[in-house]
Amino acid sequence: MRAAAIAMVAGALGCASARTPGEVDAADPIDAADPIDAAALDAAAPDAASPDAAVLDAAAPDAAVIDARPIDAAPPVDARVIDATPIDAACTPTWQNLLVNGAFDGATVAPWTQTSTIIRPAASMPFAPQSAPNAAEFGASNNANDVLVQTVTIPASATAVRVRGYQCHVTEDPITDADTFKVTLETPGGAVLETFTDITNSDVAPICVWLPFEWTATAPHAGQPVVLRLQGRTNLAFLTRFIVDGLSLEAQVCP
């Protein structure tokens, strides 16, 4: 019996000595809880989170660009529309008459200046004025050189100029171009700016019919003092009467 017991103890020792020093058994509970493996897992977590943070950081510039676009682009467009609309809509051009006593019916001849008796009442004319009681008659006598003028200032905002009124001319003169009638716009110094009409007795009928006329200037002459000059000339025989009434010298302006 003693020999059997010794044999059992020897067998147990023999099994224990079969394990290599330093070898760890796969079933060893200490290996499963190895602190090195757990540390590796803990370190991986921050690495995985880093790309997310970088993506968020990279997205920030995109948001700034989106915010800047509507702010920068919108004001100039809106400002142009708002500023332009009232300026364009504010001006409605109108025609403003610059002459005084253009119908020649005032109590005095002024501000017209005449070289002879040109402004006449109906009783001194061969036919009635277009608007009673007076009209301007050029060539009431032979060898006439009748001049009628008035000075006005064209508004600085003028964009156009015209002369309107009524005319009734009649001739007895058979000689070609013997009598003349001319209307000009001039500087105070006498330089011709516009020639509105330049006719002779050859352009005139032997009877009088009042007809409206409108003469348009080629330029507005804005801001300038100008002289409206009417001149009728006749020769030594046979009359040609050039008669006008209801004159207006008008400038187109923005009030």
> Computed from CA positions of residues 93, 158, 154, 169, in that sequence, does the dihedral angle turn out positive or negative?
negative
Q: Give the three-class secondary structure for 49.
A: helix
> Average pLDDT, stretch 30-59?
48
Strands 119-121 and 225-233: unpaired
pLDDT in tens, 19-28: 544 444 444 4
pLDDT digits (tens, 9 = 90+) for 199-240: 999 999 999 999 999 999 999 999 999 999 999 999 999 999
List the one residue out of 217, 158, 215 whose CA is nearest residue 186.
217
Reply yes or no on whether the pLDDT at 173 is more than 60: yes
Query: Does 71 score more than 70 pLDDT?
Result: no
Given a cut of 50, is residue 55 above it in pLDDT?
no
CB-based burial, 108-118: b 16+ in 10 Å, e otherwise: eeeebebeeeb
For residue 90, name the pLDDT band (cuts at 50, 70, 90): confident
Which of the four pLDDT bands, split at 50, 70 and 90, describes residue 48?
very low
Split at pLDDT 50, 70, 90, the class of 91 is confident
Q: Tell me, what amino acid is at 224? A: Q
Q: Enumerate the domain spans of the chain.
A: 29-90, 95-253
Looking at the predicted structure, is the pLDDT value of residue 169 above 70? yes
pLDDT reading at 101 higher than 50 = yes
Average pLDDT on 181-188 reads: 98
> How far is Cα 238 from Cα 179, in angstroms, rounded to an integer?
9
Q: Is the pLDDT of residue 39 over 50?
A: no
Asked if pLDDT for residue 1 goes beyond 60, the answer is no
For β-strands 113-114 and 145-153, DSSP reports them as antiparallel
Average pLDDT over residues 164-189: 97
Q: What is the mean pLDDT of the chain?
A: 80
Residue-level pLDDT at 255: 80
pLDDT above 70 for 43: no
Query: What pLDDT is recorded for position 17?
Result: 44
Percent of the chain with pLDDT over 70: 65
Domain 95-253 coded CATH 2.60.120.260: yes
Q: Name the pLDDT band for 86 (thresholds 50, 70, 90).
A: low
0.85 exceeded by pTM = no
Residue 87: phi, psi to the nearest 5? -65, -45
